[in-house]
Amino acid sequence: MWTRRANGSGRPRMPAAATVVVLLLGAFARPGTAQEPPADPAARLMGWLEALASDDMRGRMTGTDDAARAARWIAARLAEAGVAPAGDDGYFQTIPALRRRDARGRTRIEPRPADAPAGEGEAVAERNVVGVVEGADPELADEVIVVGAHYDHVGVRAPVEGDSIYNGADDDASGVVAVLEAARALAAGPPPRRTVVFALFTGEEVGGLGSGWYLDHPVRPLERTVAQLQVEMIGRPDPAAGGAGRVWATGYERSTMGDLLAARGIPVVADPRPDQRFFFRSDNIRFALAGIPAHTLSSFNLHGDYHRPSDEVERVDADHFVRAVQVVVDAVRVLADADETPAWKPGGRPQARRGGREGAP
């Protein structure tokens, strides 16, 4: 996700809290184990992060067995939490796709047309991971909130200082963990007033494959979807947002979502770097272009480990991360239970413009 603006150097020591957690959770952090997650929230969250961003996941590149392994791991966490499956194959929303190379030699993975002739590209099976917690309010249960993060990253590439696995701990294992924790908390009760779909998208790094597929094949009607909240890169504090435990929302000024959250005590502020156009650069934009108030929560501080092998768990600030996850949990509960729903402010809804600055499909 997003644009790298600074170069990282050296490998700082793991924060003390993260060191303790990782040492204690060696077995739990390995993908595929059947052990119960720790009851301590910090241990659970850091254990999940370590598992999803481990070398065993090999950077979770879209269209690979590694991404499929990550999807199975995520589905298992939703099942453990008691979140109901919402896909066409259990928790999986299957995406028939083709891997192609464009004119510049870059790999693209795109939905496969039903009438695609043989030889048009390599067929790959991709999947979103989706679960749902049904609303309980008779008047609001048919309204839907979609909470998302992308689980793919950029895989294995040319080595940097001997490391070729681009783990993607911040981008976006951190967001996935936050969504899983929000799903766990909501499923534990009390039941939300509105229905909440938890969608872990594939293919954000290759052009929004998963979120685009969801918009074309929603698991709950789009006309009843009243908001979408995306989570991207919350593993490190951003001084521009107020430091540890605080996040910012892309496109804050465009709708009433940020105001709604802030009024309920959620520590969220406006994106401090609007010139970076982050509102348009994550999966939320596809929902926004469809008319649904949709924003991304983040604390990305323009660190230099973006899309580098050094984006590893040891560089996550454990204290901030755990607090930021709780911000996401609280924000989801507000959106699920508030009397009002987010609405676009005048001129706030983005318009699709091919080749233009506002946003192109």
CATH topology of domain 16-92+126-337: Aminopeptidase (3.40.630)
Is residue 242 classed exposed, middle or buried when 0-12, 13-18 and 19+ CB atoms within 10 A define those classes?
middle
pLDDT at 38: 65
Whether residue 191 contacts residue 134, with contact meaning beta carbons closer than 8 Å, is answered with yes
Residue ranges per structural domain of the chain: 16-92+126-337
Q: Which residues of the chain register pLDDT less than 70?
A: 1-38, 354-361
pLDDT at 356: 52
pLDDT at 99: 87
Cα distance between residue 191 and residue 187, in whole Å: 7
Whether residue 151 contacts residue 202, with contact meaning beta carbons closer than 8 Å, is answered with yes
pLDDT at 120: 79
Sign of the alpha-carbon dihedral angle for 226, 257, 178, 70: positive
Cα distance between residue 62 and residue 154, in whole Å: 8
Sign of the alpha-carbon dihedral angle for 326, 327, 328, 329: positive
Whether residue 60 contacts residue 171, with contact meaning beta carbons closer than 8 Å, is answered with no
Q: Give residue-wise pLDDT tens across range 296-345.
A: 999 999 999 999 999 999 999 999 999 999 999 999 999 999 999 999 99
Closest C-alpha to 171, from 309, 342, 276 = 309
pLDDT at 358: 63
